Amino acid sequence: MNRREAIGLIGGGAALSAMAGPVGAVHRAAGWQAAAGGDDGGYDPQQNMYVLPPLPYAYEALEPHIDAQTMRLHHDIHHKGYVDGLNKAVEQLSAFRAAEPGAAGTPGAPSIKAVERELAFHGSGHFLHTIFWQNMAPAGSGGEPDVNLGQALERSFGGMEGFWKQFSEAAKAVEGGGWGLLVYEPVANRLMTMQAEKHQNLTAWGVTPLLVIDVWEHAYYLKYQNKRADYVAAFRNIINWTDVSDRARMAMGVV
């Protein structure tokens, strides 16, 4: 049973589980953890490698809000680059472990620090994009927050409008490239918004991303040029609230 099927049994996600059906992760039996992006097809246990998950809809499905050419470049080129970089970093770390103890290191080989940096950069890129594709749906088909998520938005932000104001302003104000995120914070059992400037740099350990918006220029520049605000506004039309609700219930352990 994969994550989607599990959620489908819990109720509410049946349509989505039929739609998503990605590669991999069928092997994760019940007892999956509420980890970010858990079973979204970003890893193939057969190959023991990270893989590019297929989009859960056609390239043009999000138009006019996000155009097909942007989606094609973003998914096929940019996201694929993160997957390849992550697999390479994992491979390099394996080589480090296999090296002779006390060896000074192979001349020309990257330092562990450099590889860890690559691991963080490409790993964050892969995991966040994997959530991002699932976080969106063709306009009009993304549903509404379920009861659990609705209550969490209420107690954390005073409701949907308070959430959107905080989330969209944070996304627009990210310096340089990065992400806006809605995350679950388990200490106080509430939701927070975060900015990720260069996604490998900042995080709060323990939070689980629920809704993420890519505000690197490659995500919107073809269609929106420097008008990030217009892109963020358009994003609201294609949020997949069914997916976000699924993630919130899993993170919060709500059955």
Stretch that binds Mn ion, among 23-31, 144-152, 153-161, 208-216 (CB under 5 A): 208-216
Q: Are 135 and 244 in contact (CB under 8 A)?
A: yes
Count CB atoms within 10 A of the CB of residue 180: 24
In the shown chain, the binding pattern of residues 21 to 60 toward Mn ion, with x for contact by CB under 5 A and - for none, equals: ----------------------------------------
Nearer to Mn ion, 133 or 157 (CB): 133
CB closer to Mn ion, 51 vs 219: 219
Query: Hey, how many other C-beta atoms are within 10 angstroms of the C-beta on 63?
Result: 16
Measure the N-to-C terminal CA separation of the chain; round to a whole number of Å: 16
Shortest Cβ 82–Mn ion spacing (Å): 8
- State the minimum distance, in angstroms, from the CB of residue 157 to Mn ion: 25
Rounded to a whole number of angstroms, the minimum distance from the CB of residue 37 to Mn ion is 14
Q: Looking at 62-70, 103-111, 207-215, 235-243, which segment touches Mn ion (CB under 5 A)?
A: 207-215
Q: How far is the CB of 79 from Mn ion (least distance, A)?
A: 7
**Rounded to the nearest whole angstrom, what is the least distance from the CB of residue 186 to Mn ion in the complex?**
27
Q: Are the C-beta atoms of residues 191 and 210 closer than 8 Å to each other? A: yes
Distance CA 209, CA 153 (A): 14
Query: Using CB atoms, what's the residue nearest to Mn ion?
Result: 214
Shortest distance (Å) from residue 196 CB to Mn ion: 11
CA–CA separation, 43 and 53 (whole Å): 8
H-only helix segments in the chain: 3-10, 14-20, 68-72, 80-98, 112-135, 147-157, 160-172, 221-224, 228-235, 241-252
Residue of 216, 218, 145 lying closest to 182 (CA atoms) = 145
Kindly indicate which of the ranges 32-40, 110-118, 161-169, 215-223 contains the residues binding Mn ion, using the contact rule CB under 5 A. 215-223
Q: Give the whole-angstrom CA distance, residue 133 versus residue 82.
A: 14
Per the structure block, which two tokens stand in for 43?
A: 């890893």
By CB under 5 A, which span of 1-9, 154-162, 179-187, 213-221 interacts with Mn ion? 213-221
214 forms part of the interface with Mn ion (CB under 5 A): yes
Contact (CB, 8 A) for 132 and 211? no
Nearer CB in complex with Mn ion: 28/78: 78
Return the number of the residue (32 or 216) whose C-beta is nearest Mn ion: 216
Question: How many residues in the shown chain lie near Mn ion by CB under 5 A?
Answer: 3
Contact residues for Mn ion (CB under 5 A)? 214, 216, 219
